[in-house]
Amino acid sequence: METIEKIKTQISENPILIYMKGSPKLPSCGFSAQASQALMNCGEPFAYVDILQNPDIRSELPKYANWPTFPQLWIEGELIGGCDIILEMFQKGELQPLVKETAAKHKKDDSESQAE
């Protein structure tokens, strides 16, 4: 599968998806750690893609998203933003309802999954 097609599939199949360095439990950079922590604090399941394990996605996603850095949070197919935006939304209390409403619409019973 072409990288862009893989990215589109991941985004469409995972209503709450973060592209990050490492995993939520073992992040490999401070920005990914902060962003995934904010997301975990929302208390809903979400998917992640470790871009360090997927160099093709790491190189193609910034062009596709028109967003140069990681992490990237996607909710229902829309790019929400990177670390600063995620933290700002979390601190303002805007991220939690967005994540909860999205999770309620797409109920699954696993707490965290790696997008394929």
**Binding residue positions:** 21, 29, 58, 70, 83-84
Sheet holding 72-75, edge to edge: 78-81, 72-75, 16-20, 46-50, 112-114
Instruction: Name residue, tokens 């992490």.
Output: 71
Q: What angle do CA 85, 50, 84 make, to 5 degrees?
A: 10
| Cα separation, 12 vs 75, whole angstroms | 9
Q: Known binding site for [2Fe-2S] cluster: residues?
A: 29
Joined tokens for residue 15: 């209503």
Q: Known binding site for glutathione: residues?
A: 21, 58, 70, 83-84
Are residues 9 and 69 in contact, defined by beta-carbon separation less than 8 angstroms?
Answer: no
| Cα separation, 8 vs 98, whole angstroms | 21
